A = this chain, B = another copy of it.
């Protein structure tokens, strides 16, 4: 995968924010042979304590400013809404020429925040790994999270070329593919591939929760009919997602407008009993799933290859059959 294996091109790392992404990066650095110091900062004392317990880094700091001192690579893995305050707090302590990269899900707003708060000498490389899971916090991280996933880098016209290459090389070493695009384009693409899906998932779970005609216990019992697929991403970190919507407002509202328009047309087709119109839409959407599977971005196994026994409890009886056993 990595077309340029070899040692990382930095010596001292600081990771600010030790959630799912920060902790996965710490693990991926070690797993891929990085031996230098990793200073970890988090405002949350409990997260910091867990990070220390898991030995994710070499030093642990409540103060981001202290963590970044002497680092030649600073990774900001905090919620998008915290980027400005973080930039302001680390600015005075940044080493000259340090590369500052981030992992935020919105790029235009983050670049603006960092450009406005960091010193001129900082080499800012905005990036976004398209990987994650619904689990949050330092215990959720794993070293292969970025494996066979895309990482998008969004350089500005004046971004230092060498700094881009150093960051890209790190992602490639983690097993990711690199795509370069403008921050504006990133925010538009992610609005449809990530932000809208999360908004819709949160919304349908909330609708189910609030229906007074159907008991919550019924929703839970019969969720295997489709609903449970939505609950996964609706269990993602609320702070992170609040910040995404507040910071990619324009593209999200535009995309949401399209979605609502399309939904109104389906609604009308149902009301008027237009079977052919419904069939046409349902038929076309299959093709996209096939393409996603072909592109290696999802599994073809039924139900995502979910274990048949979701609780991971031991089998109840001895003739328990293997997962999703297909008898032919």
Whether the Cβ atoms of B302 and A305 lie closer than 8 Å is: no
A192 and B206 in contact, given A149-B224, A327-B31 (Cβ under 8 angstroms): no
Q: Find chain B residues with CB under 8 A from A283 CB.
A: 238
Is A256's CB within 8 Å of the partner chain B?
yes
Number of copies: 2
Complex Cα spacing A1 to B315, Å: 10
Q: Give chain A interface residues in 82-138, CB to chain B under 8 Å.
A: 105, 130-135
Complex Cα spacing A316 to B225, Å: 36
Whether the Cβ atoms of A282 and B241 lie closer than 8 Å is: yes
0/1 interface trace, chain A 310-325, chain B, CB 8 Å (1 if under):
1111001100010011
A221 and B295 in contact, given A1-B317, A289-B231, A324-B142 (Cβ under 8 angstroms): yes
Whether the Cβ atoms of B298 and A306 lie closer than 8 Å is: yes
From A270, which residue of chain B is reached at the shortest CB distance? Answer: B245
Whether the Cβ atoms of B219 and A193 lie closer than 8 Å is: yes
Is A44's CB within 8 Å of the partner chain B?
no
Q: Is the interface of A mostly helix, strand, loop or mixed?
A: helix
Whether the Cβ atoms of B298 and A270 lie closer than 8 Å is: no
Q: Give chain A interface residues in 145-194, CB to chain B under 8 Å.
A: 147-150, 152, 179, 188-190, 192-194
A193 and B209 in contact, given A223-B297, A293-B311 (Cβ under 8 angstroms): no
Q: Give chain A interface residues in 235-265, CB to chain B under 8 Å.
A: 235-236, 238-239, 241-243, 245-246, 249, 252-253, 255-256, 258-260, 262-263
Whether the Cβ atoms of A260 and B258 lie closer than 8 Å is: no
Sample of 4 further A-B pairs with CB below 8 A, known A200-B263, A228-B297: A228-B298, A229-B230, A242-B282, A296-B311
